[in-house]
Structure 1
Amino acid sequence: MFPVRALSRHFRGHMVSALRKAAHAGDLHRVNRPGDVDAQLNTLMATDWVVYSKDCLEHTHTVVRYLARYTRQIAISNARILAVDEHQVTLRYKDYRDHDRHKSLILNGEEFVRRFLLHVLPKGLMRVRHYGFLANRCRRQRLMQVRRALAVVEQAPDADMAASDAELAYTCPHCKQPTLRMIGTLTPQRHTYDQPSNHKDQHYRA
């Protein structure tokens, strides 16, 4: 939707402005030297920022694969580790400055562990936060509604809930599973080329 260069400058301006306001309010406690904040922020404003932008994801498997890299993978995948012995680790990486060429890097065990631990988040931080029906604020209530809609019984329901579900659930004529809901009854219209019909068509949806 937006040019990447314009988006980079817009984001840089908002970020530096927020940092400057935080410095004037005394919220940047680790910065103690006078004039250090202005010098650093001026340097940031003189630097071209890069905003990562790509086309929207259209397919479900692409979304799952994209999120899986952030939720189930840390720092490096097993496929990039070429060799391991008692003293060093050999891994493969892509050199973006050299036309994206694949190269090998040899690290001793201590340095490899140090770099790996740099990607481990501090306690209390999450790599990906859940939203929708899995959000912490409404997860318990929404999961009960989802299980009830899917006819998944986690615990023995009370009599009122069971009676309510029994009134709303209909059995599929093919798989015999109570996963359908009646949304309405339509009476077929008569046409000159059709025979009169006395039955009603019931429409369902999963």
Structure 2
Amino acid sequence: MAGSVTVQSTLNQFLSTDSLDSHRRKVCRRLMDCRTARMGGMEMRCDHCKARTVHYYGCRDRHCPQCQGRASQRWCERQRRSLLPVPYFHLVFTLPHALNGWVQLHPDVVYRRLFESVWNTLSQFGHQTKHLQGELGMTAVLHTWGQNLSRHVHVHCLIPGGALTEAGEWHGAKHQYLFPVRALSRRFRGRMVSSLRHSVRTGEFHRLQDSDAIDGILNEVMQKEWVVYARHCLNQAETVVDYLARYSHRIAISNGRLVSQHGDRIKLRYKDYREDGRQKTLQLEGAEFIRRFLMHILPKGFMRIRHFGYLSNRTRRRKLTAIRQALQKPPESDVEIENGSETQRSWPCPRCGDGVVHMVRQIPRFNARGLVTG
């Protein structure tokens, strides 16, 4: 029989934690507890119709499809203050699938080297391109999945169209595409392979034991063209914010893409980009769905959203001020944006529409043994 299906329901039904490491076990536990009595919450009452409702807290885990919408909104509101009145470019750097085995064994090393190689490539182009000759800024987001939940490691980059020189001048981009894609691809390939070889020599890939196999993989990927995608510039600030929201907090799969469940088989919707984004459906056994989902849980503490160049956290305020002065645009007002939170104590009543619901009591959370926790 078909039924409503969510990531949470599939984890509750099909997940076996016996073979999971402690990090993945904790992540999955948070996702299964999200917005349930195990998380605790608030009992609310309307001051008009007197209706009582219970609201359970979310887990706020970055892999949770129920929590990322609000997190994305808050993050984008903060990033809005860093937007420049210039065109923006969207680039995507993709890792060859031949390296997926290395990602399985050493994800933290490969992901870190990927960020480094992407920024090294773009930074060199920014300094060496004649009409720029300065420092670029970049916001980069790591995605590890394809539409069918397979491993497909790539980095989305959003780049303002221009460079800041050492003299404090702004040199704007002059072309529809920031840099030639083929040249970017080959420079990126060389930097990434060189970086991986360095990690091999320093012992960071300690789970890879066969030196001949290592050389074989690296020689193989050097002989292939690597995929770099570039989209033409975005001119409207609202469009840039929409891009930030679209890519910043996306997870491997949202509940909206899960169509139905029939027994132990999960049907999901995906786009086939080999056929111009045609919508298709895919059925997976519950255990296989869980296996693919778990591939995309990031290493503990790994930052999947990073800022580089004049957008880096350390120098952003100072350098954005210099860029706006060079553009003769006044700096944006640095006013903190108020955000709603799950600890909000009142809001309009969804039932009667006339009253306001207020918290009447706090509902404690419970641990795995059913005991009240603080």
Normalised-by-shorter TM-score class: 0.5 to 0.7
Q: Name 2:226's counterpart in structure 1.
A: 49
1:73 counterpart (250, 267, 272):
250
**Aligned-pair CA distance for 1:4:** 1.0
**Aligned-pair CA distance for 1:151:** 9.4
1:3 counterpart (176, 180, 183):
180
Distance 1:124 1:29 in 2: 20
1:47-196 equivalence runs, <5 A = 47-129=224-306, 135=313, 150=335
Deviations 1:98-119 (A, max 9, x none): 3432111112222222222222
Query: In structure 1, the residue corresponding to 2:231 is in which secondary structure?
Result: coil
The letter for the 2-side match of 1:8 is S
More deviation in 37-46 or 56-65? Answer: 56-65
Query: In structure 2, the residue corresponding to 1:52 is in which secondary structure?
Result: strand
Matched, 1:33 2:216: no
Query: In structure 1, the residue corresponding to 2:211 is in which secondary structure?
Result: coil
Distance 1:9 1:130, change over 3 A: closer
Identity of aligned residues (%): 49
TM-score by length of 1: 0.56
Q: How many residues align?
A: 144
Q: Tell me how large the CA RMSD over aligned residues is.
A: 3.3
Distance 2:270 2:194 in 1: 36
**Aligned-pair CA distance for 1:86:** 4.8
Q: Is the 8 A contact 1:75 1:119 kept in 2?
A: yes
**Aligned-pair CA distance for 1:3:** 1.6
Q: Name 2:68's counterpart in structure 1.
A: none
Distance 1:123 1:69, change over 3 A: farther
**Aligned-pair CA distance for 1:74:** 1.0
Q: Name 2:3's counterpart in structure 1.
A: none
Query: In structure 2, the residue corresponding to 1:29 is in which secondary structure?
Result: coil
Query: In structure 1, the residue corresponding to 2:187 is in which secondary structure?
Result: helix
The letter for the 2-side match of 1:34 is S
Distance 1:50 1:56 in 2: 19
Distance 1:58 1:118, change over 3 A: farther
More deviation in 103-112 or 9-18? Answer: 103-112
Distance 1:24 1:102, change over 3 A: same
Query: In structure 1, the residue corresponding to 2:298 is in which secondary structure?
Result: coil
Distance 1:52 1:116, change over 3 A: same
Distance 1:73 1:114 in 2: 19
Q: Is the 8 A contact 1:75 1:116 kept in 2?
A: yes
Distance 2:288 2:305 in 1: 27
Q: Name 2:14's counterpart in structure 1.
A: none
Q: Is the 8 A contact 1:93 1:102 kept in 2?
A: yes
Distance 1:57 1:32, change over 3 A: same
TM-score by length of 2: 0.33
Deviations 1:134-173 (A, max 9, x none): 948999xxxxxxxx96499xxxxxxxxxxxxxxxxxxxxx
Distance 1:64 1:138 in 2: 18
Distance 2:236 2:316 in 1: 27
- Unaligned segments of structure 1, at least 5 residues: 140-147, 153-206
- Unaligned segments of structure 2, at least 5 residues: 1-177, 318-332, 338-374
Which structure has more relative contact order (CA 8 Å, sep 6+)? It is 2
Matched, 1:19 2:173: no
Q: Is the 8 A contact 1:70 1:128 kept in 2?
A: no
Distance 1:91 1:71, change over 3 A: same
Distance 1:137 1:88, change over 3 A: farther
Q: Name 2:63's counterpart in structure 1.
A: none
**Aligned-pair CA distance for 1:44:** 1.0
Distance 1:73 1:2, change over 3 A: closer
Distance 1:117 1:20 in 2: 28
Distance 1:35 1:71 in 2: 38
The letter for the 2-side match of 1:13 is G
